[in-house]
């Protein structure tokens, strides 16, 4: 379950074009009492990258009202495959701030990057 946020992405280090969307397994946490969720599993191969984020990243807007977008998020992660989780996270946050520039932040920005070390 992902608390209602965008689904995480799993990027394959061996095949840079393979991106797996980890769809939610039930209702967002706390919405319905006694909710149930399906259980699933994925395997991270050495070098694979798992990206969990809130829509504050993909919906971040520049001064013209354009959104940062999921496509841009994925391009940055793909361009940084092979780097550490901290490096990928830093690159994403830097790109969001550069994109937004002087426009006010209107939503939270939460990001977690996991890289399985080779």
Q: For the segment 22-78, what is each residue's pLDDT rounded down to a tens digit?
A: 987 777 777 788 878 778 889 999 999 999 998 899 999 999 999 999 999 999 999
CA atoms within 13 A on the CB side of 114: 10
- CB neighbour class for 31 (10 Å; exposed up to 12, middle 13-18, buried from 19): exposed
Give one DSSP letter per residue of 27-94, joined into a string. SPTTTSTT---------PPTT-EEEEE-HHHHT-B-TT--B--HHHHHHHHHHTTTS-HHHHHHHHHH
And the tokens for 17?
Answer: 């074009």
Is 0.95 surpassed by the pTM of this model? no
And the tokens for 106?
Answer: 């209107």
The pLDDT tens digits for 77-95 are 999 999 999 999 999 999 9
**Given strand 9-11, what is the order of strands in its sheet?**
19-21, 9-11, 49-53, 111-115
Helix axes 85-100, 70-79, angle to 10 degrees: 140
Residue 1's pLDDT is 62
């Amino acid at each position: 379950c992902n608390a209602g946020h965008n689904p995480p992405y799993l990027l394959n280090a061996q095949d840079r074009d393979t991106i797996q969307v980890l769809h939610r397994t039930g209702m967002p946490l706390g919405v319905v009492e006694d909710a149930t969720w399906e259980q699933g599993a994925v395997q991270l191969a050495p070098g694979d990258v798992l990206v969990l984020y809130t829509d504050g990243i993909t919906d971040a807007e520049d001064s013209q009202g354009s959104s940062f977008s999921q496509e841009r998020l994925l391009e940055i992660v793909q361009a940084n495959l092979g780097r550490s989780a901290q490096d990928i996270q830093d690159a994403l946050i830097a790109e969001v701030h550069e994109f937004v520039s002087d426009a006010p932040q209107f939503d939270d920005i939460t990001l977690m990057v996991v890289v399985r070390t080779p």
